[in-house]
Structure 1
Amino acid sequence: MSGELKKRLLSAIVLAIVVLAATWAGGLPFRAVAAVIGVLVYYEWSTITRLKDVDFQGNAFGWLIVVLVALNVLGGDDQMSMPLLGGGVITAMLFVVLRKRSWWLPSGILYAGLSTIAIAAIRGENQIGLMAMLFLFAVVWSTDILAYFIGRKLKGPKLAPRISPGKTWSGAIGGTVSAVIAGSALSGVVFSDFSLWTAFMALILSVASQIGDLFESFIKRRFGVKDSSHLIPGHGGVMDRVDGLVFACFAAFLLTLAHAAWTSHVDASVAAYLFGL
């Protein structure tokens, strides 16, 4: 085994232990993981898009909003997270319009801030939140792993050759099918019943995960970088590892908000929505 592969394997084991332990514990430990992810995502985003070079003041404002959102998720009022993020994004958009700043500023604030909020909201503070987070992990990880192996085995037409030349339609479909199987299996173990709704949610979240992967590939290709950073030995950056998970969490969180607005159930949780409860 090469030194680089050993480094990659060790990093993966350490990350898995930390994330799964925090997920199991819930509460402050998991909120801390969500907050750190959001802050590091903004660091990598601002580095890739060169915000600190082209818009120092705007980037400083972006840091302020992302850190405030992270601190609010850690110990503030959950109901203030989205208004705080929304206000920051709108203000950044005004900077862009009035002072001709970079549009990468408001999009980076939204991407990083919503990462923290959505991930924390799905886990919540109860047992159903734990199951929901494990469901997201099962869907995203099975999508990533099976898409890679099935794509390499079957090959075929490229999914998005201009963005990510290695991805194929066979891999994308195989990853989605495996995600539906994995998500349904986990739901069946937890609730002792097969749910068409949960299978459908697994499909939607798998597609969202792959869109997130393509989105990050587009950003990196746009700015000519290979990895989002070198924060994780052997793996690149945080965005490289959580791009699919973040978009899957976005989808689950935003669908829950839309459902709550449509049904007037303002106290609806993401976990309950995922499992059709």
Structure 2
Amino acid sequence: MSNLQTRTITAIILGVVTLLITFFGGTWFTLLAIAIGAAVFHEWVSLTAARQTPLSRIFGWSWFALIAASLLWGGGALASIGALFFGAAIMAVLTWKSGKAWPTSGLLYAGLPSISLSLLRGDEPFGFTAIVFLFAVVWGTDIAAYFTGRAIGGPKLAPRFSPNKTWSGAIGGAVAGVAAGTLVVSLLAEPVTFLAPLLAFVLSVIAQMGDLAESWVKRIFGAKDSGRLLPGHGGFMDRVDGLVAAAVLMYLIGAIFAQPDVPSAIFFSI
């Protein structure tokens, strides 16, 4: 079986399972959001092992468990986000001399998307729409960027950070992300206005920036993949780098223009 076939089968299985859990929502989706954050944190700690210490590992995992408990017990946006940044501040003080900002960055990189995804889904009518919209934009961007870049090639997007990504792939990914997000809104929410494609475009761009940022981190630490958890895909972080960035931005937009505890209410207006 070729790597592309393995990659495709793995993606389909994960996609179906993820959508089913998204549909059921509630505690199941919160557990999924926590699992995504835990997998990201595990690979971040392994990738940045040269900058980690026993203290940073123990404190990081302990504090991530605290955030997970807050989400499962319905602590709300203020409690969860406040606890995360309080823990990050403590970790920064404890580990700066040995690890610089890497241990602290890992806690935020894993904790913020877990909180964002959990709060976006919530128990509200538009929670399902919000997450499916987010997935559609990120997955559409990722798939189209991969195949468009391979088919067309051309000038490199950011060779300093990721030598394989091209401008053609980035543009193709953005077009597909906007189309996929707009389709979801047209099927699951109100009639589409210009805000839905605009939001999809912004999320597509930030997802690609998240991908480049993760590639930059891997290059700093001399790694090709972030791990080996997913057959055909490499590491888990390699597959959710775009989702991590887009989920946090979408939560921020929803928190600002709707409510911090009900960010999916933004779909009443787009």
Same fold (TM over 0.5): yes
Q: In the aligned structure 2, how far is the partner of 1:165 from the partner of 1:12? A: 24
Superposed displacement of residue 135, structure 1: 0.4
CA gap of 1:199–1:7, structure 2 versus 1, over 3 A, is closer
Of the three residues 59, 62, 65, the one matched with 2:63 is: 65
Which structure 1 segments of 5+ residues have no match? none
Query: Mapping of 1:19-98 within 5 angstroms?
Result: 19-50=18-49, 54-79=52-77, 80-97=79-96
Which residue is equivalent to 1:165? Answer: 163
Of the three residues 192, 210, 221, the one matched with 2:208 is: 210
Partner of 1:127, secondary structure, is coil
Q: In the aligned structure 2, how far is the partner of 1:96 from the partner of 1:255? A: 32
Deviation by residue 1:189-226 (Cα, 9 ceiling, x = unmatched): 22352211111100110011101111111111111112
CA gap of 1:142–1:54, structure 2 versus 1, over 3 A, is closer
Partner of 1:167, secondary structure, is strand
Percent of residue pairs identical: 42
Contact 1:39 1:70 in 2 (8 A): no
Deviation by residue 1:82-109 (Cα, 9 ceiling, x = unmatched): 1110101111122245x45431011001
Superposed displacement of residue 12, structure 1: 2.5
Partner of 1:126, secondary structure, is coil
TM-score, scaled to structure 2: 0.92
CA gap of 1:275–1:235, structure 2 versus 1, over 3 A, is farther
Of the three residues 243, 263, 266, the one matched with 1:270 is: 263
Q: In the aligned structure 1, how far is the partner of 2:217 from the partner of 2:202? A: 23
Q: In the aligned structure 1, how far is the partner of 2:223 from the partner of 2:260? A: 42
Which residue is equivalent to 2:176? Answer: 178
Flag as ranges the 4+ runs of structure 1 deviating above 4 A.
3-7, 265-268
Superposed displacement of residue 114, structure 1: 0.6
Query: Mapping of 1:126-275 within 5 angstroms?
Result: 126-191=124-189, 193-257=191-255, 259=256, 266=259, 269-274=262-267
Contact 2:254 2:265 in 1 (8 A): no
Contact 1:229 1:238 in 2 (8 A): yes
Q: In the aligned structure 2, how far is the partner of 1:19 from the partner of 1:127? A: 18
Deviation by residue 1:41-60 (Cα, 9 ceiling, x = unmatched): 11100000006x74211221
Partner of 2:165, secondary structure, is strand
- Root-mean-square deviation (Å): 2.0
Partner of 1:149, secondary structure, is helix
Contact 2:52 2:103 in 1 (8 A): no
Partner amino acid, structure 2, of 1:156: G
TM-score, scaled to structure 1: 0.90
